[in-house]
Structure 1
Amino acid sequence: MLILRGARRSLFTASFPRLTGSRRIPIPQKPPPFPVVESCPSPTCACRPVPPMPEGLDIDRKQNLNGTMASYGEQIMIATGKDDWKSKIEDEEDAHFQRKLKELLGRKGELCDPFHNSSITNVSFPAASSSPDTASAYLFPSFRYIPSIPLAGDGVKNFLRGFVKPKKLHPLNLEILDEDQQQIMVRDESLQQQFEGVREVDEIMVLICGHGGRDARCGIYGPLLRDEFEEKLQAKGIPLRPQPDLQEHHEGMSASVGLISHIGGHKYAGNVIIYIPRILREAGHPLAGKGIWYGRVDPEHVEGIVDATIVQGKVIKDMFRGGIEDNDARSVIRL
């Protein structure tokens, strides 16, 4: 179900049948906004074994995963070239960009908008430059890559205002902010001209939480699932991009697989986000332009995810934590 603003009442009534006398009249549910399969197809070949989890850090195999993803308007994914980070990514010695982002977008920050949350995560992909004066970032579900973001002056602020802020403000913001504040809080796409080398992300992105510095379960699952996804993607004939920061041309699908920092739900490890690029709309891919969150992913599920979700565009219901789509509403998708 696609949860939209003002739809809370319909969600409630859809969950509890209306009573009329002694008759129960069910209210029909909306069909899912994409094809769905109930469970992951079984593997056809051997998979990597999962080591035992540390004592007291079991995987939650009982809770319904639907709706357990965090709501966000944009995921800012910072290229670090590292596979793991400190518990708080802004505590890394070279986390200048992360600290500036949190300063501007945090609770008392100049660009804080409670109606358009920005998720700030690290990714293992290398930055375009090793210079400490610039940063590289991916944006989802905008499907943009910005290779060079200056950290000095208003560089980070202009990046946020040009690429990350919403195109339209929430109605409550229109009521409480004056006109000058509204102009700062809404996207100004003219600022994008200050940034060179910006490209559309046209490859499939498989992002696995591998943040062992935050939780050992993700630290165990992350590298294990990365190897499994890379193997199964190539076995399916989907080439990997050895340098995701570079623009490359591939006929059909290509993919990048990376480890990311904390996204919530360690107890649901392995946690995987799959972004299907907008360009695949031309091929009729049902999930093009969407991000799909999965939990409780084991190596034995990877082949099925590659085939069902990445190739066929079907969401696996019993692993689905939620999703997001490239639209102005940035509404969380639930089943």
Structure 2
Amino acid sequence: MGLLQKIFHGQTKNIDSLVLEKGFEVSSCSSECSSCTSNFPKSLSFDNDAYLWESTKPYGLHIVVPTGKTDWPHDACGVSGTFSKQVSEWGGHSSGKFPEIGSIKVTVSSLSSDDLLTNDEYCNEKRGDVLLLPFFVWVRNVSIAQVNPVLDAVVASLVASRKNSVKEIQLSYPQFPSVKIEVDSNQSYVFFCSHKSRDKRCGVTAPIMKKEMDIYLRDLGLYRDVGDNTPGGVKVAFINHIGGHKYAANVIIYLRKSGKNIWLARCKPNNVRPIVDECIVNDGKVWPEKIRLIQKFDSIEW
């Protein structure tokens, strides 16, 4: 990896050591696959020199709003009167409510819910679902008016469950009889930024990365398409702008069993198979030179 270093706690430490301190392992395998042939268009330019380590801020909760789309308005969560707007506003105002969580990230995604294609209210974004990571919990059939009280209640319950090491989740709330709580059965989620209306690089690179990853996950029997909830799979999806287009492709990974969150950057198609093998199958082995952020949360076995 070279001699990347950073001043930390008054001492100069090699990033390999920082990776180990955070509960991760440094991969001894190459980050590149020699047999992979896909490439990004040569017309795209990226920042290959900027310092990546901790180039994005830590967060404790990632709320993913399914839309079934692969691109969104410039401000993806900023359209007045929509479900995603209300969720985003809740996230912006709620970090202080849950000090155990800290910062809250809200994104929209290409993920779909079962009702999204048939229910007019979902299509008009009057109702919706959210996936809460790293908890691997779905909150479904929430109206715009219910967003604040439902998320207040569910997130508080999840925080309490983690704190008390409870191995079950509250699946219903009498005050919200229409809302459904479901535990997600996948072993991992992988997200690529595909927000073309914000930056062409992500709109071009994300589909190439996802295609490569889907092919390899199929070979391993881990691929899960829309509607396939067979336990133990890996779901790959697009999300909106998350910061750092110049570092494309950004890859955000959540591992259920270990509670690990990995954010890699400057990834290319020839990195896909090693990412699957090392980061997902081998549960969090990483390459320090590609890390923007790594976090390890207390895992919960629902």
1:15: Cα distance to partner?
A: 2.3
DSSP-derived class of the 1:119 partner: strand
Whether the aligned pair in 1 keeps the contact of 2:19 and 2:25 (CA below 8 Å) is no
Whether the aligned pair in 2 keeps the contact of 1:225 and 1:298 (CA below 8 Å) is yes
Residue aligning to 2:64: 77
- AA of the residue aligned to 1:42: E
Whether the aligned pair in 1 keeps the contact of 2:188 and 2:255 (CA below 8 Å) is yes
- AA of the residue aligned to 2:127: T
Q: Indicate whether 1:150 and 2:147 are aligned.
A: no
With over 3 angstroms needed to count, the CA separation of the structure-2 counterparts of 1:243 and 1:201, relative to structure 1, is same
Residue aligning to 1:320: 291
Deviations 1:279-321 (A, max 9, x none): xxxxxxxxx2111100000001111111121112311211111
Q: Distance in 1 between matches of 2:47 and 2:84?
A: 30
- AA of the residue aligned to 2:27: V
Q: Distance in 2 between matches of 1:46 and 1:327?
A: 35
Q: Indicate whether 1:210 and 2:194 are aligned.
A: yes
- Name structure 2 gaps, 5 residues minimum: 1-6, 161-168
- AA of the residue aligned to 1:325: K
1:72: Cα distance to partner?
A: 1.4
Match of 1:164 among 141, 155, 164: 155
Identity of aligned residues (%): 26
1:202: Cα distance to partner?
A: 2.7
Structure with greater Cα Rg: 1
With over 3 angstroms needed to count, the CA separation of the structure-2 counterparts of 1:269 and 1:126, relative to structure 1, is same
Residue aligning to 1:295: 265
Q: Distance in 1 between matches of 2:19 and 2:77?
A: 41
Residue aligning to 2:42: 52
TM-score (norm 2): 0.78
Q: Distance in 1 between matches of 2:46 and 2:34?
A: 25
Residue aligning to 1:242: 225
Q: Indicate whether 1:141 and 2:134 are aligned.
A: yes
Whether the aligned pair in 2 keeps the contact of 1:229 and 1:302 (CA below 8 Å) is yes
1:259: Cα distance to partner?
A: 0.6
- How many residues are treated as equivalent by the alignment? 265
Whether the aligned pair in 2 keeps the contact of 1:105 and 1:113 (CA below 8 Å) is no
Deviations 1:38-79 (A, max 9, x none): 67433142331211345xxx3111122111123212110000
TM-score (norm 1): 0.71
Q: Indicate whether 1:269 and 2:239 are aligned.
A: no
- Name structure 1 gaps, 5 residues minimum: 1-9, 17-27, 169-188, 279-287, 329-335
DSSP-derived class of the 1:259 partner: strand
